[in-house]
Every structure is written in structure tokens, then in C-alpha cells.
Amino acid sequence: MKEAIQNLLQLQTIDRKLDTLERAKGDLPQKVQQVKSELEKARETLQNNESSLTELQKELRRVELEISTLNTKKKKSEEQLYAVQTNKEYDAVTLEIEQAIEKIDAMENSEIELLDKEKDASEQVKLAKEALAKMEDDFQKTSVKLAKTIEANADKEKSLTEERKSIANKIKVDYLRIYERIRKPKAGLPLVTIERGACGGCYTNIPPQRVMEVRESDRLILCEHCGRILYWQDEEELTIK
Ligand SMILES: [Zn+2]
């Protein structure tokens, strides 16, 4: 067999092994990526929920403080009521008390609303924390699984990659380019034998003249139909294999 073809065949064998290793990883890398981005979103949601809760609590404290200030003011006015001398003074203090009561009412209503909102917000924080914990667990499991698979294949992959490099070094750049171009769309089988006068990849008949060329010529000959690199395998070589 021609040396160039022999080298390309070796490359093909290695590439198929590398493909198998890649498939063993499956969709784990994408899954890890996906879980990771969900994890980031969950963290963001939790942060947003926590800051809304903090805002509500601040607002609640402000309202409570105001209620207490108003109550103090009201109490003072009520005490003043005993000391008033004139009707005019009495009316003024009474008005102050009424205004304070109105404001306290309004503030107490806001307080109730805020307490409701705070309860909801706390619930949201709790849910977001639970969701995040579950996602962190998922992420942990998925990445551990991937890490194990990668680790198991790492050595194999490394030696195959090294082997591939040393073989690729022996192959003409032009040939390598052709090989790489066919490799992807042809599902990792850029080289095929001629079987009973037909391309072993697409089964299109190959004219005898061309078959001769594949056998004799030193250049690479591609199937005119599917574009794969054709090679000839002698009977003896077949039986050795
Ligand atoms: Zn073909």
C-alpha cells in the first residue's frame, strides 16, 4: 500500500478513537454550562429578593419610628390640653391631636401593608434559597460526573493526540487539508476502499480506468460522487488484517 494512504489510514483510526472518547463525554459539557448559567440566574434572583426584603424592612422601621414619634407628640398635646387657658388655645391643641390621630391611622395602614409585603418577600427569599441550593447540588453532581469521565479518558486522549501529531507530521500538508475537509461531513471516515468496483462510502461505481489510477497513482484520488479519498486494498492485506 502507498505510504501516504497508510499514514492517512492511521490518522483515520486515531481520529475515530478520539471521536469515541469525545462521545463518551456526551452532552455533559453543555449540561454543565447550562446548569452554571441557571445557577448564576438563581443567585441573581436571590440577591434581588434579598435586597427587596431589606428595602421593605427599612421602610417598615421608618414607618414604625414615625408612628412612635407621632404618638409621643399626641401624648404631649393631650397633656397640654389640661393646661390651656383660652378657647383658642384649646381649639389649636385639639386640632393638633386630631391631626396626629389621622397621621397615625394612615401610618398604621401603611405598616400593615408593609408587613404583608415583608411576609411575601421573606417567602420569596426562602424559595430562592431553596432553588439555589438545589441548583448548586445539581451543578456539583454534573461537574463531578464530567470531571470523572474526562479524567478517565485524559491519558488515553493525550497519548492518542501525541500519536496523531507524529503521524500528521509525516503527511503532506495538502493531503492533510483534503483529509480534514472530508472528515467532518463524512462522519469521521474520509478514506474508503474500493469494493467490487464501487466506492466503499457511497457505493457509486467507479470506472475501471479510475480504479487503476487508485491502484497505481501516487496522488490522492477522490470519489467523484461523495468526495471521499479512495484507496486500494490488496487481497493479501485484507487477509492479514
Ligand atoms: Zn463515494
Span 99-141, pLDDT tens digits: 999 999 999 999 999 999 999 999 999 999 999 999 999 889 8
Quick check: is 64 in a domain? yes
Question: How many angstroms separate the alpha carbon of residue 146 from the centre of ligand 1?
Answer: 37
pLDDT digits (tens, 9 = 90+) for 54-76: 999 999 999 999 999 999 999 99
Instruction: Classify residue 144 as exposed, middle or buried by CB count within 10 Å of its CB (0-12, 13-18, 19+).
Output: exposed
Cα 190 to averaged position of ligand 1 atoms, centre (Å): 10
Torsion angle in degrees (nearest 10) through CA of 54, 59, 65, 66: 180
The domain of 34 spans 26-153
Q: Are 146 and 193 members of one domain?
A: no
The Å distance, Cα 43 to ligand 1 centre, comes to: 53
Cα 223 to ligand 1 centre (Å): 5
Percent of the chain at pLDDT above 90?
Answer: 71
Cell (9 digits) for 57: 424592612
Give the CATH number of the domain where residue 141 resides. Answer: 1.10.287.1490
Whether residue 108 sits in one domain with residue 199 = no
Residue 131 in grid coordinates = 432553588
Co-location of 141 and 211 in the same domain: no
Identify whether residues 32 and 125 lie together within a single domain.
yes
Count: domains in the chain: 2
d(CA 147, CA 61): 49
108 & 140 share domain: yes
Q: Ligand 1 centre and the CA of 211: distance in Å?
A: 13
Place of cell 383658642: 88
